[in-house]
Amino acid sequence: MNKELKVIDFYCKKCKKSMKVSYMVTGNRNYPVLPRVMMKCHHCGRVMTLKNFKEGELLDRVEQDKYYI
C-alpha cells in the first residue's frame, strides 16, 4: 500500500471555482465517498449530493488532484 497521503479537492464544473471541500484517499476503490453530504458552490449557488459514489469512480475522473462535480 502506498504510504503517501493523497488529497483530492472538489471544484464546481459549472463555474470552475473551489467548493472548499477536500477528500483524503483511503486506497479502497469500493469505499463510499461523502455519502449523503450536500455541497453548495459558494460562487454560483449550485447544490450537489454524492449518492452511491465510490472512491474508484472518483479516482478515474480526477485531474491534477482536482475533481469537477
pLDDT one-digit tens code per residue, 6-56: 999 999 999 999 999 999 999 999 999 999 899 999 999 999 998 989 999
Q: Which residues contact 15 (CB under 8 A, 6 or more apart)?
A: 41, 43, 44, 46
Query: Would you state the pLDDT for residue 3?
Result: 57
The answer as to whether 63 is a domain residue is yes
Please, what sign has the CA dihedral across residues 59, 61, 63, 68? negative
Q: Give the confidence band of 5 by pLDDT, cuts at 50, 70, 90.
A: confident
The answer as to whether 1 is a domain residue is no
Query: Would you state the pLDDT for residue 13?
Result: 94
Query: Would you state the pLDDT for residue 58?
Result: 93
Give how far Cα 28 sits from Cα of 17, 39, 69, Å. Answer: 28, 23, 21
What domain range is 24 assigned to?
7-68
The answer as to whether 58 is a domain residue is yes
Structurally, the chain folds into a number of domains equal to 1
The answer as to whether 53 is a domain residue is yes
